[in-house]
Structures are given as C-alpha cells and as structure tokens.
Amino acid sequence: MAKAKIGKKVTDIKLAATGEQELKISDFKDKNIVLYFYPKDSTPGCTREGQDFRDNIAKFRRASTEILGVSRDSVKSHENFKTKQAFPFDLLSDKEEKLCTQFDVIKEKNMYGKKVMGIERSTFLIDKKGVLQQEWRKVKVDGHVDEVLAAVKELNKK
C-alpha cells in the first residue's frame, strides 16, 4: 500500500469505529478531515489531546472539518474513552495497523528503558477531495489544536 504523501490522494481504508460503524475517508464528502493518531486511550496526554479537539469542535465544524481519532485500541476501549470524555467525534480502531502503516506513524519508542513499537502522536489534514495537505509529527499536545485549526482556516481560503 502506498504511503500517504502531501499533495497526493489518501488511500481509502475502512476501519471499525465508535457507534458500531465502519468509516473511511470518502465517507466525509465535502469536508476536510483532521486525522489524529494517538498512542493509547485514557492516558494523560491522549486524554488532553482529545479534550482539546472536543473543546474546539464547534470551530472545526464551522470550518467544514471533521475530527477522527485513531489508535490501535479496540472499539470497546474507544467507546469507553469517548463516553467518559464526551468526545463529539468518532474514534477508529486500527488493530491491524493499516491506517497507521499508510501514514507511517508506527515508530520505535523507549518505554521504561525498553524499546517498543508504538504510535507516534501525529496529525494529518486531508482536504475535501481526499488529498493530504499537511502533517504534524512528534506532536506536543500544548497548543497543537490551535495550530491545526489555523491550518484548516488557511486551507479553506484556497
């Protein structure tokens, strides 16, 4: 499968999602998509990042943009996380790492002195035609959502 590249159309991959759905990029016609990859449900950084997207959802929706969170956690875990945090957007379960591989977010990490493979916190902005426009890798949570929102507004001016 082709890796996602800026300026190229993203391959449509269907994944299990919250709300007993299966979703893919092409399901969101006429909307930009912010696809954010995070390591694990209900961990401090991932919770804060999701809350930041949640707290700014009205601004993203006014900018014709849908938010989708992605991790390797199960749909059941996602449902609990989404409910507990009142996320108004869906979470995709990528247990087989199909989307993770396409966006090249599985990286070697150091956890308590051990090397493990895990998701590197990353965000991708896909336009209304399904073309990857921007990417953020090695994301730091503080201020990230504001940066993404600014990029969405800039994209909509084009």
Indicate the number of domains in the chain. 1
Q: pLDDT value at position 158?
A: 81
Q: Domain containing 107 — which CATH number?
A: 3.40.30.10
Helices (H), the chain: 44-55, 57-62, 75-85, 98-102, 144-157
Name the residue range of residue 71's domain. Answer: 29-157
Residue 62 within a domain: yes
Q: What is the pLDDT of residue 136?
A: 97
pLDDT value of residue 1 = 64
Of 15, 25, 34, 46, catalytic: 46
Regions of the chain with pLDDT less than 50: none
> How do residues 25-68 score in pLDDT, each as one tens digit?
899 989 999 999 999 999 999 999 999 999 999 999 999 999 99
* Residue 21 counted as domain residue: no
Task: Note if 100 is an active site residue.
Answer: no
Can you give the pLDDT at residue 117?
86
- Domain-located, residue 3: no
- End-to-end CA distance of the chain: give it in Å, rounded: 29
In the chain, the percentage of residues whose pLDDT exceeds 70 is 99
